[in-house]
Structure 1
Amino acid sequence: MSTHYNTEQLKEVAGGDEEFMAVVAQAFLEEIPPDLEALEEAISNDNRELAYQFAHKMKPNIEMFGIAVLKDITTIEAWTKTSKNSAHISDELDNVVTTLKLVFEELKSDFNL
């Protein structure tokens, strides 16, 4: 298994059902990449409302897979309620994007998707 996510919470929810876990991983791979792209686009267009919606929508999935970017997502959500420019969250966004792209590849490999 990977170092960028863990399945402890998923195993608990799935009751150890490997097939169910694979279905959840597949759903993650179908939903999160376009959401991540939309989040990046919303931030680059300074569309704070949309950025908040995508960041908030991604949180439960990120939490389910124990991905260590929850703090960054929360920081992005908080930024949407400020008047600061997007440079204030560029490090957080870069970390989210980089980490999630690694997780996408690891999930595909680990669950044979």
Structure 2
Amino acid sequence: MKKVTYDLSQIIEMSDNDPDFIKLMVDTFIEEMPVDLDYLALAIKEEDRENVHRYAHKIKPSLELFGLQGHLNAVVLESWGKGDETKDINKNFKFLYQELQETLIQLKRDF
């Protein structure tokens, strides 16, 4: 079994361990993250810097809230979207995508 990729401690703390709130946050993440990830992937494929920045910026707080390392990759993608030519966005997106796919599987299994 793979290591759990997410950490709900921030959500637990902000909700005073309210199981309904935690479930709502998880369900929202499961519902919205794949859509945003698809838009981000399309923007990267099309080298659409404005939308890469927009979607990386949009998902970054959720990644941090769920304790995912991918928030660091989102920062790189966000920076590239602002015009930073030196970043390897494909490598960063690949890591982010893989981590999110595993996290979504785990969250669906656990909730």
State the shift of 1:83 in Å.
Answer: 6.0
Query: How many angstroms apart in 1 are the aligned matches of 2:12 and 2:84?
Result: 40
State the shift of 1:84 in Å.
Answer: 2.8
Q: Which runs of 5+ in 2 are unaligned?
A: none
Query: How many angstroms apart in 1 are the aligned matches of 2:13 and 2:86?
Result: 40
CA-to-aligned-CA distance 1:21-49 (integer Å, 9 cap, x gap): 01110001111100001001001001110
State the shift of 1:70 in Å.
Answer: 1.1
State the shift of 1:55 in Å.
Answer: 0.5
RMSD, matched Cα:
1.5
Does 1:103 find its partner at 2:96? no
Counterpart of 2:93 in structure 1 is 93
The AA in structure 2 aligned to 1:96 is L
Question: How many percent of aligned residue pairs carry the same amino acid?
Answer: 30
State the shift of 1:92 in Å.
Answer: 0.6
The AA in structure 1 aligned to 2:82 is K
Counterpart of 2:33 in structure 1 is 32
- Secondary structure at the counterpart of residue 79 of structure 2: helix
Query: How many angstroms apart in 1 are the aligned matches of 2:76 and 2:49?
Result: 13
Query: How many angstroms apart in 1 are the aligned matches of 2:72 and 2:21?
Result: 27
The AA in structure 2 aligned to 1:103 is T
Query: How many angstroms apart in 2 are the aligned matches of 1:103 and 1:50?
Result: 23
Query: How many angstroms apart in 1 are the aligned matches of 2:94 and 2:100?
Result: 10
Q: Which runs of 5+ in 1 are unaligned?
A: none
Aligned residues: 109
Query: How many angstroms apart in 2 are the aligned matches of 1:83 and 1:24?
Result: 33
Query: How many angstroms apart in 1 are the aligned matches of 2:89 and 2:50?
Result: 15
- Which structure's relative contact order is higher, taking Cα pairs within 8 Å and 6+ residues apart? 1
- Secondary structure at the counterpart of residue 73 of structure 1: helix
